[in-house]
Amino acid sequence: MIAPIERTLAGLRAQTAIWRKAGDTIGVVPTMGALHQGHLSLARAARAACDRVIVTIFVNPKQFNNPSDLDSYPRTEQDDARKLESTGVDLIYVPSPDQIYPEGFATTVTVAGLTDMLCGATRPRHFDGVATVVPKLFLQTSADFAFFGEKDYQQLQVVRRMATDLDIPVTVVGCPTIREEDGLAMSSRNLLLSDRARIKAPMLAEVMQDIRAQLLNGATMAQITPDAKARILTAGFTKIDYLELRDGDDLSLLDQAKPGARLFAAAWLAGVRLIDNIAV
Ligand code: PAF
């Protein structure tokens, strides 16, 4: 059965009040729609852990750096609702913009430090947009648990920091990246790739796996990076925003593998920015 879609905060609160009264735990999976298997795996993780599951779909204008990116973001609500059918979620919350940012809305949440590097360096204010909308979604849904993909690992760390700093009583759960058969990390942005670009896209993950193997053999990023970047560019990517090894907790820069290290990459392919990260 397709889960009911709720568009207003009042309607959402009426429903969650009933669940709360019954003593049910609530899990939320915040999304911007254009759902793929990665999102569905989050919904399933929520389903397994919580009595009630809400998936939110809101294309958050505050986290886009340019209007054309916001305009071209895929919007596939009916399709998304159908895809969620198999996961057994209880409610899909699709707020209209005024339910999130009503007239006069004037608050911005900034998480310092974690947002200076990686995607934060090339997408100014992006994480302010994320750190502002996510607590609203937590509080509106009154969720006990919130599920995020490790695909957006920096976002996961930013959300964890924000929830801790603001004393929001939610447990943030990170779930593994889901990949296509050829290794490409699933992302709503993959829909924007042309057929030709889609064939080239898995090269990013392939090079990252090779870097991982070299790091585990004792090589340093300083030694590996020039050749690895050249391979990515030769494969057809036009620009590399970053290819860096960082600590998985505080995201500080590393040159060598150590427990908890992660390799992060962002690169442009035919006008589409792809990101990926793997544990090393
Ligand atoms: O990862 C996303 O889809 C978005 O950044 C999120 C967490 C739903 C906030 O808008």
CATH number for the domain harbouring residue 9: 3.40.50.620
**DSSP symbol at 171:** E
Catalytic residue among 15, 33, 39, 94: 39
Contact call for residues 95 and 34 (beta carbons, < 8 A): no
Clarify whether residues 167 and 251 are in a common domain. no
CA pair distance 269, 123, nearest whole angstrom: 17
70's tokens = 């916001």
Pick the residue whose CA is nearest to atom 6 on ligand 1: 31
Considering only CA atoms, which residue is closest to atom 2 of ligand 1? Answer: 31
Are 123 and 229 in a shared domain?
no
pLDDT (tens digit per residue) in 137-194: 999 999 999 999 999 999 999 999 999 999 999 999 999 999 999 999 999 889 889 9
Query: How many whole angstroms from 272 Cα to the centroid of ligand 1?
Result: 18
Q: What is the predicted pLDDT for the residue at 221?
A: 98
Number of domains in the chain: 2
Shared domain for 223 and 146, answered yes or no, is: no
According to the model, what pLDDT value does residue 196 have? 97
Instruction: Specify whether 110 is located in the same domain as 210.
Output: no
Q: pLDDT tens digits for 40-52?
A: 999 999 999 999 9
Q: 265 is in which domain, residue-wise?
A: 188-279
Q: Are residues 170 and 194 in the same domain?
A: no
Going from the Cα of 123 to the center of ligand 1, the distance in angstroms, rounded, reads 15
Q: Which of 175, 200, 222 is the last residue of a domain?
A: 175
Q: Is residue 182 part of a domain?
A: no
Q: Which residues of the chain have pLDDT under 70?
A: none
Is ligand 1 within 6 A of the CB of residue 57? Answer: no
Q: Is residue 183 part of a domain?
A: no
Distance in Å, CA 31 to ligand 1 centroid? 5
For residue 69, the model assigns a pLDDT of: 86
| Top mutation candidate among 28, 62, 133 for ligand 1, by most atoms within 8 Å of CB | 133
Based on the residue annotation, tell me whether 39 is a catalytic residue of this protein.
yes
Task: Please indicate, yes or no, whether residues 27 and 127 belong to a single structural domain of this protein.
Answer: yes
| Domain shared by 15 and 146, yes or no | yes
Asked if residue 199 and residue 166 are part of one domain, the reply reads: no
pTM (2 d.p.): 0.96
Boundary-marking domain end, from 129, 147, 175? 175
Question: Residues 116, 217: one domain?
Answer: no
How does the average pLDDT of the chain come out, rounded? 97
Indicate whether 217 belongs to any domain. yes
Task: Find where tokens 């990515």 sit.
Answer: 232
- Phi, psi (deg, nearest 5) at residue 222: -60, -40
Does some domain include residue 101?
Answer: yes
